[in-house]
């Protein structure tokens, strides 16, 4: 197990380095931050001063070398736009995004799991079709549109929730639902098919013939096995929610890193974009690793298989 | 089990929904407005007054700070912390300062403050965003406690206008606490005191009761950045915010119908045009007849009436009616297809294919598409291309942009000198019109001490730029503010700053 984790960690470092190279060089192909930083009337002299101060006069490779060296010293650079350390800029916004992600994931679980199980148990009946239609709508509806629809109905018309901003639990409801809608719908559909597969297995028939209660069969025997299959997907969904909050944060004026990265791309704030991309890549890597470990705990056969294949 | 859960979830949602709506602004008391919230599309870059280069940043900063001068909503330069100002020799502008003005912490405003503020701005090592706009200043001399001379490197009639964004900052407070502390805890002389800044979420202010122009009505002011237009409108309609900007034309008609909202459409200082890339080695673009042909081919009136629903105004070239040397005698290029075709033939156009660039996701794309269609009508092959905003600016700066490109200049760039230099001056980053004679004329007009002579030189400049036609001249843009009808006496400004000093409750 320890060797496995170590190997995965080393692989992760290579992935992160690859991400860093790609994001560093593509960003620099996309335009000069000086054009955003300085007012239109700025003189050539000022452009030169800024270019030198920001280190943009050095060759790309030299800039990358300096950046890499600084990263290993824990320095992710200074934001051109906000004129402060990137880590500060990001950590100020990260709690808002984590909060939104957690609540969206909670929404995913609260809606996705009961609805998925229910749909599987009622397979072929009208209620199954209704759940599946809702799941399909949830998957097809563009996040942007869903968000605006929720704002118009629940905030403007019914005045139940605020239209935007942060500050209270009520502010969290609409953005969490909007962000969680797609992953909830995905969970419903995956869990339904996974449950159907498990429910047709022999051991379920045995349990039924032994006269176990339906609740015990569904939740202890069927659900536990069905959920293993969708665990990876759920894990990636958390990372996806975290990274995919850009649109939701924009629609709901949520002050998180999704909105920060959109603004920073527009402003060519290289250091911020690089750091956010690395952060998101790291989150994906870590969550994947955690899912794999969790997977082997829930389903020891996976670990055994990996062990035997060595 | 599921049924129970669903009922529980529904009850929870209902209870949450029924709790009090605490974000509704309360407006109680006689003339006082307890709280007021305004929303703009982007956040401020900073609350350090020297770092905000955007109009939004300037709006956020103007609530807390004053400069020596300020423009009226119509664009006229007036004294603000300066009682009066005059040019006393070619290079020197003298400012008489207001007395009995105090910063929010009680520190006195005087000539020392001005000297400190200007020198702080000019310190390039501090990397302030606005510094490059002030490098025309050479030095500041204190004449007495309430008189200062600002000496420029070159003669510059535009000095008082340029100073509107040079906020006066408290010398002792900054020296004591340092620049970094000040950048997070700003203190000014303005109508509101800083309370809190949460990035991308809000800036909160409270009223400064000793404001030198008199206490304002709003007790607590909040600025919120709401990037998405539909969300901004929803926040206004639900009463969470009281004033919004940047509302597109197709939404205005609907909002005008709402009883509790007031829509204000007003002319801005923003001038739109389609520049010819005259840095390109193209005989066709260098040909004056060709450039004029395209000006005659475009029906600007129709664009304003049909695409902009009246939200725009034709201008003869690039000068607005309140600029120095605006010549009301010049008529904008008329829409005359026959003349356009004649001039096109004169130019020897042989079917060459041209590119017309516009920054991606710009609201003026339909205008540019319409212009391209009109140009095609006279037989010119032109294709519209969208370019990423920053790349487009980089290409304009490098002179490698397409043959034609849509551009607009405005906001604080609100004078003949700024408009002509930034858009059409040699070696300017956003200009592709390099013409030394026109540069000399511009410099002469901006240096001339005699007002009448200066005015005449600006008129000459305007006549010449109209004749040379380095652009297809389009229109002066309009903007819209939508305000809750609970308030009155709010005046939108041409430079699109939001100032709320005079706002009152609507009885």
Mind giving me the DSSP string for B447-500?
H--SHHHHHHHHHHHHHHHHHH--EEEEEEEEEEEEEETTEE-----TT-----
Angle (CA) B167 B170 B171, round 5°: 115
B227 touches chain A (CB under 8 A): yes
- pLDDT attached to residue A301: 67
Half-sphere exposure (Cβ direction) of B229: Cα atoms closer than 13 Å: 13
- The percentage of residues in chain B with a pLDDT greater than 90, rounded to a whole number, is 75
Residue of B nearest to A34 (CA): B394
Please tell me if residue A103 touches chain B, with a CB cutoff of 8 Å.
Answer: no
How far is B347 from chain A, CA to nearest CA, in Å? 33
The reported pLDDT for the residue numbered A302 is 63
pLDDT above 70: residue B26 = no
Decide if pLDDT at B112 tops 60: yes
Which candidate from B42, B53, B198 shows the least CB-CB separation from A39? B53
Rounded CA gap, A83 and B433, in Å?
33
Contact B421/A at CB under 8 A:
yes
Q: Which two tokens stand for residue B487?
A: 């308030």
What residues in B contact A155, CB-CB < 8 Å? 234, 238
Across the interface, whether the CB atoms of B16 and A81 are under 8 A apart is answered no
Pairwise CA distance, residues B228 & B251, whole Å? 13
Name the residue in chain A with its Cα closest to that of B15: A160
Q: Does the distance separating the beta carbons of A173 and B240 come in below 8 Å?
A: no
Q: Which of B2, B225, B397 sits opposite A253 (nearest CB)?
A: B225
How far apart are alpha carbons A273 and A246 in whole angstroms? 13
Q: Token pair of B161, please?
A: 């206008």
Cβ-Cβ contacts under 8 Å for B188 (sequence gap 6 or more): B49, B61, B64, B65, B66, B103, B104, B167, B168, B169, B170, B194
SS3 state at B405: strand
For B231, which of A159, A161, A251 is closest by C-beta distance? Answer: A251
Which of B429, B431, B442 is the mutation pick for testing A, counting most A CBs within 10 A?
B429
Q: Which residue has the higher pLDDT, B461 or A244?
A: B461
Q: Is B361 on the interface with A (CB under 8 A)?
A: no
Cross-chain Cβ contact B46/A259 below 8 Å? no
Residues 6+ positions from A301 with CB-CB distance below 8 Å: none
Task: Answer yes or no: do B23 and A162 touch at CB < 8 A.
Answer: yes
For chain B, give the mean pLDDT.
90
Candidates B42, B312, B111; CA nearest to A250 is B42
pLDDT for residue B117: 97
Q: Which residue has the higher pLDDT, A67 or B67?
A: B67
Contact across the interface for B226 and A82, Cβ inside 8 Å: no
Q: Across residues B227-234, what is the average pLDDT?
A: 92
The pLDDT assigned to A121 comes to: 86
The predicted structure's pLDDT at residue A303: 57
Q: Residue B458 — very low, low, confident or very high, per pLDDT cuts 50/70/90?
A: very high
pLDDT of residue B195: 97
Residues of B in contact with A40 (CB under 8 A): 409, 413, 422, 428-430
Structure tokens at B476: 């002066």
More confident position, A40 or B377 = B377
pLDDT on residue B68: 97
Position A13 scores a pLDDT of 86
Long-range contacts of A135-138 (CB under 8 A, 24+ apart): A135/A185, A135/A188, A135/A189, A135/A192, A136/A185, A136/A189, A137/A185, A138/A181, A138/A182, A138/A184, A138/A185, A138/A188
Give the nearest chain A residue to B360 (CA atoms). A266
Distance, first Cα to last Cα, chain B: 56
Q: Which residues of A touch B226 (CB under 8 A)?
A: 164, 253
pLDDT of residue A213: 80
> How far is the CA of B309 from the CAs of A163, B249, B364, in angstroms?
29, 7, 13
Q: What is the pLDDT along chain A (310 residues), one digit of tens a residue?
A: 677 778 878 888 888 889 989 988 888 877 777 777 777 777 777 788 778 877 788 888 888 888 888 888 888 888 888 878 899 999 989 999 999 999 999 999 999 999 998 998 888 889 999 999 999 998 898 888 999 999 999 999 998 999 998 888 999 999 999 999 998 999 999 999 888 888 888 888 888 888 778 777 888 778 877 887 787 788 878 888 877 788 899 999 999 998 898 888 888 888 898 899 888 888 888 888 888 777 777 766 665 555 444 3
CB atoms within 10 A of CB B153: 11
pLDDT tens, position by position, B80-103: 999 999 999 999 999 999 999 999
Look at residue B457 in the predicted model and tell me its pLDDT.
94
- CA A142 to chain B, closest CA, distance in angstroms equals 15
* Interchain CB distance below 8 Å, A253 and B430: no
CB contact under 8 A, B227 and A47: no
pTM as predicted? 0.83
Inter-chain CB proximity A255 and B200 less than 8 Å: yes
What is the arithmetic mean of pLDDT over B384-408?
90
Is A83 at the interface with chain B, CB within 8 A? yes
Mind telling me how many Å the CA of A267 is from chain B's nearest CA?
8
| ipTM rounded to 2 decimals | 0.79
**Model confidence at B207: pLDDT above 90:** yes
- How, if at all, do strands B487-488 and B504-505 pair? antiparallel
pLDDT at A296: 72
Which member of A117, A151, A255 has the closest CB to residue B199? A255
Nearest to A186 by CA among A267, A108, A123: A108
Tell me: the pLDDT tens digits for B129-183? 888 889 899 999 999 999 999 999 999 999 999 999 999 999 999 999 999 999 9
Q: Tell me how far CA of residue B74 lies from CA of A56, A256, B269, B284, in angstroms.
A: 41, 38, 9, 39
Q: Which residue has the higher pLDDT, B361 or B457?
A: B457
């Amino acid at each position: 197990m320890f060797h496995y984790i170590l190997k995965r960690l080393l692989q992760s470092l290579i992935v992160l380095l690859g991400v860093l190279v790609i994001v560093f060089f593509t960003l620099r192909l996309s335009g000069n931050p000086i054009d955003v930083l300085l007012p239109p009337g700025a003189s050539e002299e000022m452009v030169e001063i800024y270019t030198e101060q920001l280190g943009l006069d050095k060759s790309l490779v030299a800039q990358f070398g300096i950046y890499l060296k600084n990263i290993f010293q824990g320095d992710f650079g200074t934001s051109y736009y906000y004129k402060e350390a990137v880590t500060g800029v990001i950590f100020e916004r990260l709690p808002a995004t984590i909060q939104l992600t957690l609540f969206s994931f909670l929404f995913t679980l609260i809606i996705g799991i009961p609805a998925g199980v229910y749909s599987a148990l009622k397979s072929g009946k009208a209620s199954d079709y209704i759940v599946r239609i809702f799941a399909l709508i949830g998957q097809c509806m563009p996040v942007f549109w869903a968000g605006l629809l929720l704002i118009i109905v629940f905030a403007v018309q019914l005045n139940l929730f605020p239209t935007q901003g942060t500050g209270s639990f009520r502010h969290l409801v609409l953005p969490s639902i909007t962000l969680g809608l797609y992953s909830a719908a995905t969970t419903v559909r995956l869990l339904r098919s996974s449950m159907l597969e498990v429910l047709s297995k022999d051991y379920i028939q045995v349990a039924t013939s032994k006269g176990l209660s339906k609740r015990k069969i569904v939740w202890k025997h069927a659900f536990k096995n069905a959920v293993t299959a969708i665990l990876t997907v759920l894990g990636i969904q958390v990372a996806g929610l975290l990274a995919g909050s850009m649109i939701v944060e924009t629609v709901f004026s949520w002050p998180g890193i999704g909105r920060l990265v959109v603004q920073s791309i527009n402003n060519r704030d290289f250091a911020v974009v690089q750091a956010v991309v690395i952060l998101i890549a790291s989150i994906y890597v870590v969550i994947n690793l955690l899912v794999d470990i969790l997977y082997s705990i829930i389903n020891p056969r996976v670990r055994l298989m990996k062990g035997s294949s060595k | 089990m599921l049924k129970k859960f669903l009922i529980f979830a529904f009850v929870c949602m209902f209870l949450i929904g029924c709790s009090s709506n605490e974000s509704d602004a309360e407006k109680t008391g006689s003339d006082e407005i307890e709280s007021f919230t305004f929303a703009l599309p982007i956040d401020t870059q900073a609350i350090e007054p020297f770092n905000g280069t955007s109009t939004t940043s300037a709006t956020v900063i103007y609530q807390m700070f004053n400069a020596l001068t300020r423009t009226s909503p119509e664009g006229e330069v007036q004294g603000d912390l300066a009682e009066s100002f005059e040019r006393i020799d070619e290079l020197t502008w003298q400012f008489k300062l207001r007395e009995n003005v105090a910063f929010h912490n009680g520190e006195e405003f005087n000539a020392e403050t001005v000297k400190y503020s200007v020198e702080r701005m000019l310190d390039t090592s501090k990397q302030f965003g606005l510094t490059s706009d002030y490098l025309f200043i050479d030095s500041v001399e204190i004449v007495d406690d309430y008189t200062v001379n600002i000496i420029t490197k070159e003669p510059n009639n535009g000095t008082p206008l340029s100073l509107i964004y040079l906020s006066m900052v408290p010398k002792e407070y900054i020296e004591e606490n340092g620049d970094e502390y000040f950048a997070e805890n700003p203190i000014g002389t303005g109508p509101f005191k800083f309370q809190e800044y949460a990035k991308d979420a809000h800036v909160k202010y409270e009223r400064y009761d000793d404001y030198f122009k008199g206490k304002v009505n709003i007790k607590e002011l909040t600025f919120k950045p709401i990037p998405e237009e539909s969300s901004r409108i929803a926040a206004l309609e639900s009463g969470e915010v009281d004033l919004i900007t940047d509302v597109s034309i197709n939404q205005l008609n609907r909002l005008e119908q709402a009883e509790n909202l007031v829509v204000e459409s007003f002319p801005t200082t923003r001038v739109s045009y389609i520049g010819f890339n005259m840095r390109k080695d193209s005989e066709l673009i260098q040909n004056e007849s060709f450039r004029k042909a395209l000006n005659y081919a475009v029906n600007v009136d129709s664009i304003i009436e049909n695409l902009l629903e009246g939200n725009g105004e034709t201008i003869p070239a690039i000068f607005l009616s309140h600029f120095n040397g605006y010549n009301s005698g010049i008529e904008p290029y008329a829409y005359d297809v026959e003349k356009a075709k004649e001039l096109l033939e004169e130019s020897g156009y042989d079917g060459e294919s041209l590119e017309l660039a516009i920054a991606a996701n710009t609201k003026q794309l339909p205008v540019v598409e319409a212009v391209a269609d009109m140009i095609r009508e006279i037989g010119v092959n032109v294709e519209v291309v969208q370019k990423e905003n920053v790349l487009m600016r980089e290409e304009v700066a490098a002179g490698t942009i397409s043959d034609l490109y849509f551009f607009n200049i405005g906001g604080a760039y609100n004078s003949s000198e700024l408009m002509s230099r930034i858009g059409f001056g040699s070696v300017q980053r956003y200009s592709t019109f390099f013409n030394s004679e026109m540069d000399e004329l511009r410099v002469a007009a901006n240096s001339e001490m005699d007002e009448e002579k200066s005015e005449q030189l600006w008129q000459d400049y305007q006549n010449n730029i109209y004749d040379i036609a380095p652009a297809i001249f389009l229109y002066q843009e309009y903007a819209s503010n939508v305000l809750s009808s609970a308030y009155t006496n709010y005046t939108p400004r041409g430079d699109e700053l939001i100032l709320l000093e005079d706002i009152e409750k609507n009885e």
